Amino acid sequence: MSFFKKFFTREKEEDLNKGLEKTKTSFFSQVTKAIAGKSKVDESFLDDLEQILISADVGLSTTVKIIERLEERVARDKYLNTEELNQILKDEISVILEENQTDDVEDFEFPEANKPHIVLVVGVNGVGKTTTIGKLAHQFVKKGKSVVLGAGDTFRAAAADQLKIWSERSGAQFF
């Protein structure tokens, strides 16, 4: 997370948090619905949770890790109600996120021997790919790198125009 914190002003970070709040609320409301009226974590709930996690764009290996940890934790720490199960799930997701913290991202450098370097950014609609690309381009240009941005989103209205604006702001070339 520290890699992206350099890019966000306090206002931008607050906007990001507001946007994520909707996703978080939706995610946990789906989990709440999945466990409503259940007195234990059974195969049916775990299948529902797997579907919810995959639908929320959590990777398969991370989904499996979350489910395994949830099963272990529930077996060890019995839960009494939906709120406690939600808290256990939040705790386990937090632990997984903390385990993946790396300090080497801030000083990442491409190997000089292999050029040109190509970065492909993919993700679902509305997650901020174009904005992130613009900010990364700015950082690379600031480090003296020659950057060319190529528009690959040919379906979204004004996607190429938005990327062109980012290239102009960052000093990168645009194709």
Query: How far, in Å, CA of 93 to CA of 99, rounded?
Result: 10
* Co-location of 8 and 89 in the same domain: yes
Tens of pLDDT, residues 150-171: 988 777 788 888 889 999 999 9
Alpha carbon 21 to chain centroid distance?
13
Quote the domain boundaries for residue 159.
109-175
Lowest mean pLDDT among 53-57, 59-63, 141-145: 53-57
Nearest C-alpha neighbor of 16 from the set 91, 126, 123, 99: 126
Query: How far, in Å, CA of 39 to CA of 100, rounded?
Result: 32
* Co-location of 12 and 62 in the same domain: yes
The pLDDT assigned to 12 comes to 61
Query: Considering the domain boundaries, does residue 126 fall inside one?
Result: yes
Q: Per the structure, how many domains does the chain have?
A: 2
* Co-location of 16 and 95 in the same domain: yes
Tens of pLDDT, residues 101-131: 665 556 667 788 888 888 888 877 777 888 8
* Co-location of 67 and 121 in the same domain: no
* Co-location of 60 and 86 in the same domain: yes
Single residue among 99, 126, 149 that ends a domain in this structure: 99
What sign results for the dihedral spanned by CA atoms 135, 138, 140, 142? negative
Q: Is 112 helix (H, G, I), strand (E, B) or coil?
A: coil
The pLDDT assigned to 138 comes to 92
What integer best gives the mean pLDDT of the chain?
A: 79
Query: Considering the domain boundaries, does residue 104 fall inside one?
Result: no
CATH number at residue 55: 1.20.120.140
Query: Considering the domain boundaries, does residue 60 fall inside one?
Result: yes
